[in-house]
């Protein structure tokens, strides 16, 4: 099994934590998604890698009909629990690559929230295009750690710990601020030959975390889930120790999401 496929399977172990630990996506993102695609509640949406329903729930509340595909059985089960009140939403346990919809079923929008990078690059654009109605849209967005100017110095301190335990990635520190971060997704859309990009949007926001809340968040990331236990325990001790010295015991973590939308050619 490749490293990428092994890591994407780790999220299933975080099924109980993911929904509460991960941040909600900004309301503006959903507003832009609807404005750029023109989808309305009667539309049929396909979500790739729904996890426990982090991005499914807001769209279900708007009245959309959604088919959600999730690789992890525990994550899919959690999603079914959270979405049980929505008769128009179904959750299927499968990888996107292996799943086949019923004959003659097409979708108005295929979307993925912090999941598209884990799908086989040789298949995902071709399959998404084949599942869309004429003029249908593909939307991808993520949620990653952002380092705007003046970011919390805690992350420089804790980066030393990552380096110490051999879990640094060798990149220059600090990372570029969000506005200087390249985003290859729009290029991928075009290079696939199946989509033309109709819009991209970036969102940056911040959340405050206690040590327990931040460690719960880290427990939903593939690199931390798969980390050697001794290294992980040392890292978490250092997080607790550093935050214990702060008056309110909290850190500020910034998030960045880039929404990319393409229309099927």
The model's pLDDT over 22-58, given as tens digits with 9 standing for 90+, comes to 999 999 999 999 999 999 998 999 999 999 999 999 9
Q: What is the 3-state secondary structure (H, E, C) of the chain?
A: CCHHHHHHCHHHHHHHHHHHHCCCCCHHHHHHHHHHHCCCCCCEEEEECCCCCCCHHHHHHCCCEEEEEECCHHHHHHHHHHCCCCCCEEEEECCCCCCCCCCCCCEEEEEEECCHHHCCCCCHHHHHHHCEEEEEEEEEECCEEECCCCCCCHHHHHHHHHHHCCCCCCCCCCCCCHHHCCCCHHHHHHHCCCEEEEEEEEEEEEEEEEHHHHHHHHCCCHHHHCCCHHHHHHHHHHHHHHHHCCCCCEEEEEEEEEEEEEEEC
Is 168 a domain residue? no
User: Averaged over 213-220, what is the pLDDT?
Assistant: 98
Is 124 a domain residue? yes
Specify the pLDDT at position 1. Answer: 44
* Domain range for 104: 3-145+178-206+254-264
Q: Is the pLDDT of residue 7 over 80?
A: no
Is 151 a domain residue? no
Is 153 a domain residue? no
Is 188 a domain residue? yes
Q: Is the pLDDT of residue 6 over 80?
A: no
Q: For 98-116, what is each residue's pLDDT tens digit?
A: 999 999 999 999 999 999 9
User: Averaged over 217-226, what is the pLDDT?
Assistant: 96
**How many domains does the chain fold into?**
1
Is 162 a domain residue? no
Q: For 238-261, what is each residue's pLDDT tens digit?
A: 999 999 999 999 999 999 999 999
CATH number for the domain spanning 201: value is: 3.40.50.150
């Amino acid at each position: 099994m490749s490293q990428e496929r092994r890591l994407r399977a780790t999220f299933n172990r975080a099924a109980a934590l993911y929904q509460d630990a991960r941040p909600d996506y900004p309301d503006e993102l959903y507003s832009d998604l609807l404005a750029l695609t023109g989808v309305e509640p009667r539309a049929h949406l396909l979500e790739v890698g729904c996890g426990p329903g982090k991005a499914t729930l807001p769209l279900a509340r708007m009245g959309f009909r959604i088919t959600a595909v999730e690789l992890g059985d525990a994550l899919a089960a959690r999603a079914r629990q959270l979405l049980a009140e929505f008769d128009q939403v179904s959750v299927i346990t499968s990888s996107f690559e292996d799943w086949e919809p019923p004959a003659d079923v097409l979708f108005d929008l295929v979307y993925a929230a912090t999941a598209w990078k884990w799908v086989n690059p040789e298949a995902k654009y071709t399959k998404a295009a084949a599942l869309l109605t004429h003029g249908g849209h593909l939307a991808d967005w993520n949620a990653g750690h952002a380092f705007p100017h003046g970011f919390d110095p805690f992350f420089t301190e804790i980066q030393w710990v990552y380096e110490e335990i051999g879990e640094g990635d060798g990149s220059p520190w600090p990372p570029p601020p969000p506005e200087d971060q390249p985003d290859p997704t729009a290029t991928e859309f075009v290079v696939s030959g199946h989509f033309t990009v109709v819009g991209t949007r970036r969102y940056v926001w911040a959340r405050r975390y206690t040590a327990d809340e931040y460690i719960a968040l880290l427990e939903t990331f593939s690199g931390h889930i798969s980390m050697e236990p001794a290294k992980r325990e040392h890292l978490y001790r250092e997080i607790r120790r550093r935050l214990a010295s702060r008056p309110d015991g909290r850190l500020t973590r910034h998030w960045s999401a880039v929404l990319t939308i393409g229309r099927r050619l």
